[in-house]
Amino acid sequence: MGIYGDIGVIDRNTFFKEVTIKICSSLKIKTALKGAFDYLRQNIPLDSLALTIRDTNLAALRRVAQVATNRVELADEVFVLPEELWSKVQAWEVRAPTIMSADHDEVIRAIAPYIKLEGNSAILIPLWVENEWLGGLILRVRGEGVYDSSHVELLATVTEPFSIALANALAHERLLRYRDTLLDDNSFLNRELLSHTSDEIIGGNTGLRNVMEMVRQVAPLNNSVLLLGETGTGKEVIANVIHFGSPRRDGPFIKVNCGAIPESLIDSELFGHEKGAFTGAVAEKRGRFERAGGGTIFLDEIGELPLQAQVRLLRVLQNREIERVGGSRPIPLDIRVIAASHRNLETMVSENRFREDLWFRLNVFPVIIPPLRQRKEDIPALTRYFVMRKSKELGISGSPAIVPGALQRLTDYSWPGNVRELENIVEREMIRYRGEQLLFDSLLPAEDGRWKKEPPEDSRRQAPLKLDAILFQHISKVLKMTNGKIHGRDGAAALLGVEPNTLRARMDKLGIDYRRKRNAS
């Protein structure tokens, strides 16, 4: 046996232990294969050790790693097989180490040119895990007839650890590829979000131009920002712009609605907890502040925070560290805090419902976002944007047209719910008039010029109207809009989505006069 010694005197338990240690020494396939190669070569003839796997996506054999005596590690190689040969490889059932010979097996004979059997001796160790054939390890040495049954029997003792260890290594490499893919996707999405500059924020150059100027000033810095404004004005949109315009743009952007977390859970959600901190804490948990490390945390509706959580938040802003619930060690943080509220925090301070020291910490750079009624010039652009977006969400091909005068009707409205109310109105209108022109007639003004407002449901004591009464009111309203016109594109029938004759028949039944009024001469 030369330098390899006598196979018969090798202690198989020692051989099994050493090979297992070498092959399990690393989750990096080439590192593990190199350790196994160095040990195997001390005991059996060996010039190269290669791992070849089945690639079902390519219908091919793929050599993912190879170690040779000259220490050269070959690059990934793919051997695409003919369809008939691939079918035979798929059905192959070799489970024990075997000497590879062109005369021994039909599949081996077919793949011999791919693995360069001519002039060499080779042993295949098939790798099986839970009845799935992953591929095989191929041991090769120069010269024909070098390997015999004693080598096969010795290698049979380490087939199982080879299979498990290399299956784990392959799974680890797949996870690394998935991780790299996710990181690449995250980077791409961040770049896409970052591309939304103030020019693309609707109203960034008109009603929100002062806000966007303040955003440009504060975004590159690291200080806390307080966003103030009524509900529905778009505070979260502005927080997004600040984060993605900052040096932290590649870090996480964690959003927290402080009013949506139960008071009993808010400490655990924000600051995390240690294992056993309370009943049900079966494992440690990172809170939102830890998850925002290296990035930004957006605390929406911060006025809803209970006083105990306000104390903890103050420590975050002062010391840039937290303690988990049930923990005793401080955890340093590298985060930026953006807070938002629709409440008057100064009034809450005077009523002892919000800590004064926290208010001073947050109010370093307040950004006040104006309500929609104070930037009415943005309403037409916002309406068209929502129509386009809702068309995609509702599966409507092409954005429906807006009838003349409807945008003026929207502009004249006071919008107590701000941008969010406008979005909801657009969606409701598109559901009501699916694919048709949008009227926005739910915002019709009363005859005295004031906006109609339905009384609260619980204040209406009269019996509900019958269906005919409702139809009478609705048809009369539409006829008033069209000045009695029934036919044509702008007629009442088109607006109601019915045939003119059908509408006349309904009006006859309800007692509505459909003769069009004419102006007196």
pLDDT attached to residue 519? 39
- Shortest CA distance to 136 belongs to which of 49, 51, 34, 47? 51
Each of the 521 residues of the chain gets a pLDDT tens digit; together they read 444 555 656 778 888 888 888 888 777 877 888 888 888 888 888 888 888 877 777 777 778 788 887 665 656 677 777 787 778 777 777 778 888 776 666 777 766 666 677 778 888 888 887 777 777 888 888 888 888 888 888 888 888 888 888 788 778 777 887 877 777 666 656 655 555 444 468 888 898 999 999 999 999 999 999 999 999 999 999 999 999 899 998 889 999 999 889 888 898 899 998 888 888 787 888 899 999 999 999 999 999 999 989 998 999 999 999 988 888 888 899 999 999 999 999 999 999 999 999 999 999 999 999 999 999 999 999 999 999 888 888 888 778 888 878 888 899 899 999 999 999 999 988 888 766 788 887 775 544 344 444 444 443 344 455 676 677 778 888 888 888 888 887 788 888 888 888 888 888 777 776 655 443 33
DSSP secondary structure of 452-509: P-PPPGGG--SPPPPHHHHHHHHHHHHHHHTTT--SSTTSHHHHHTS-HHHHHHHHHH
Q: Which residues contact 275 (CB under 8 A, 6 or more apart)?
A: 281, 282, 283, 284, 326
pLDDT attached to residue 187? 63
> CATH 1.10.10 residue ranges in the chain?
454-521
For the purposes of burial, counting CB atoms within 10 Å of the CB of 461, is it exposed (0-12), middle (13-18) or buried (19 or more)?
Answer: exposed
The residues facing 188 across adjacent strands are: none
- Shortest CA distance to 296 belongs to which of 248, 363, 365? 248
Tokens at residue 373, please? 């009624």
> CATH 3.40.50.300 residue ranges in the chain?
196-370
DSSP H or E run through 235: helix 235-244
DSSP H or E run through 503: helix 500-510
Q: What are the two backbone dihedrals, phi and then psi, of residue 248, each rounded to the nearest 5 degrees?
A: -90, 10
Q: Is 234 left (phi over 0), alpha (psi -120 to 50) or beta?
A: left
pLDDT attached to residue 237? 92
Kindly indicate whether the domain formed by 374-448 is annotated with CATH number 3.40.50.1370: no
Rounded distance, CA 434 to CA 431, Å?
A: 5
> CATH 1.10.8.60 residue ranges in the chain?
374-448
- Shortest CA distance to 214 belongs to which of 203, 206, 222, 225? 225
Just give the CATH number of 454-521.
1.10.10
> CATH 3.30.450.40 residue ranges in the chain?
2-173
pLDDT attached to residue 514? 61
pLDDT attached to residue 368? 94
- Shortest CA distance to 93 belongs to which of 61, 60, 126? 126
pLDDT attached to residue 462? 42
Tokens at residue 212, please? 């966007």
Just give the CATH number of 2-173.
3.30.450.40
pLDDT attached to residue 457? 42
Q: Which CATH class is domain 196-370?
A: alpha beta
Rounded distance, CA 369 to CA 378, Å?
A: 14
